[in-house]
Amino acid sequence: MFSTKNLFTKLSLVTRSTQQLIGRTQIRTNTTTTTTDKKKLWKITLMRSTIGLPPKTRKNVKALGLYSRGMVIYRPICNELAGIILKIKELVKLELVDERLPIKNPAPKGYEVIRKHNSLASSTATTKAQQ
């Protein structure tokens, strides 16, 4: 049985940051998830669009659950995801995190609705006032 960590370091196409992230995790050929750090999740952000890419690459991005540019997902560390991430390493940003961050509330609209305008009620009021 060999360590996937050694296999990743032998590949010349793997970026240094991806090597460091995968190197910190003890990924074996079985599907167990064990880490040397206390970090348990990968934060995966889709940085580039899949427009113009081969269908196989698009399917890999969709298999992770990423649909639009800038989308962030949290996934547990496992071999299957490591393989998919290595196939699309140029498109995503990968970080190790302890827990999921809460979703931010949307920014305020910049205005506040005091009451809704009822065009039907106002038109009938003006016609009654004219009579």
* pLDDT tens digit sequence for 37-93: 466 899 999 999 999 999 999 999 999 999 999 999 999 999 989 999 999 999 999
In a domain, 41, yes or no: yes
- Report how far residue 78's alpha carbon sits from residue 42's, in angstroms, rounded to the nearest whole number: 10
Q: Is the pTM of this model over 0.75?
A: no
Scored b (16 or more CB within 10 A) or e, 38-49 reads ebebbbbebeee
Average pLDDT in the 85-109 region?
87
Question: What per-residue confidence (pLDDT) applies to 85?
Answer: 94
What sign has the CA pseudo-torsion 73, 78, 84, 86?
A: positive
Q: Which domain covers residue 37, as residue numbers? A: 4-98
What sign has the CA pseudo-torsion 45, 51, 53, 58?
A: positive
Residue 129, SS3? helix
Please give the tally of structural domains in the chain. 1
In a domain, 34, yes or no: yes
